[in-house]
Homo-oligomer: A and B are copies of this chain.
Amino acid sequence: MGHKDHHQTKFIPSNAPTSRTAKFKNRQGLIEATLQALSDLGYANASVSEIIKRARLSRGMIHLHFGSKDNLVIETAKHASERYHAFLETCLKCAGPSPQEQVEAIVKHDLSEDVLNATSVRVWYELRGAIYFQKELASYSDTRDERLRNVLFHLFIQLLETYGLKEATQENAEDVTFAFLALMEGMWTDYLLHQNGFQRENAKRSVFRFLQTLFPDHFDLTGAKLT
């Protein structure tokens, strides 16, 4: 009934050409709708019907644009992953060059409202869980994986070296990286589970307290309060 009208009012404000720009917009719309459905309903209940309802598009569009629903989910994961890494890279470039400033930037990025919010945390959790029976997701649900792990490892190496702990630097840096990543993972999980009670500032303070005990010369709790 009103489907066509909705589509027109949504994507063709006046009388602009539909063709390619509209096709791209619909493609993006499906991805956004999938993110929303995953967030609202979880992977188990994010059906084709629920996705197209949110996209306000017709049933066949998923097949037309993505071939299958599985593929749509994979592309959605890819989209989310790229957004995460792009924003992270921006944050790292804006921050100062010193290791402590870089680490600080990573913490603030990962706990910022742009990254750690109700929708994205839910989607991230659901897509991770789905890796088991949708192996192709693994490559795109790699938030906080090898790339970031390597960056952190080298940052911590530098920080450890300033203490002159040459002997066990390698192993120490590995352990610190491992623990730091686990800590950040845990923060996200805590946000997921206690969305109402979660205090962003407390989370930041805990992480900086952790960093402070490890590197008392480089970190203090004032870092947790800055945006």
Q: Which residues of A from 10 to 45 have beta carbons under 8 Å from B?
A: 41-45
Residue of B nearest to A125 (CB): B129
Pair B182/A189 contact, Cβ less than 8 Å: yes
Chain A interfacial residues counted at CB < 8 A: 40
Shortest beta-carbon distance, A143 to chain B, in Å?
10
> Is the C-beta of A54 less than 8 angstroms from some C-beta in chain B?
no
> Is the C-beta of A190 less than 8 angstroms from some C-beta in chain B?
yes
Pair B122/A132 contact, Cβ less than 8 Å: yes
Cross-chain contact of A175 among B181, B190, B205 (Cβ < 8 A): B205
Beyond A122-B132, A128-B192, 16 additional pairs, beta carbon < 8 A: A42-B43, A42-B129, A42-B132, A43-B44, A125-B128, A126-B129, A175-B202, A175-B209, A179-B183, A179-B206, A179-B209, A182-B183, A182-B189, A183-B186, A185-B190, A189-B189
> Is the C-beta of A151 less than 8 angstroms from some C-beta in chain B?
no
Residue of B nearest to A215 (CB): B213
Complex-state Cα separation, A175 to B178, whole angstroms: 19
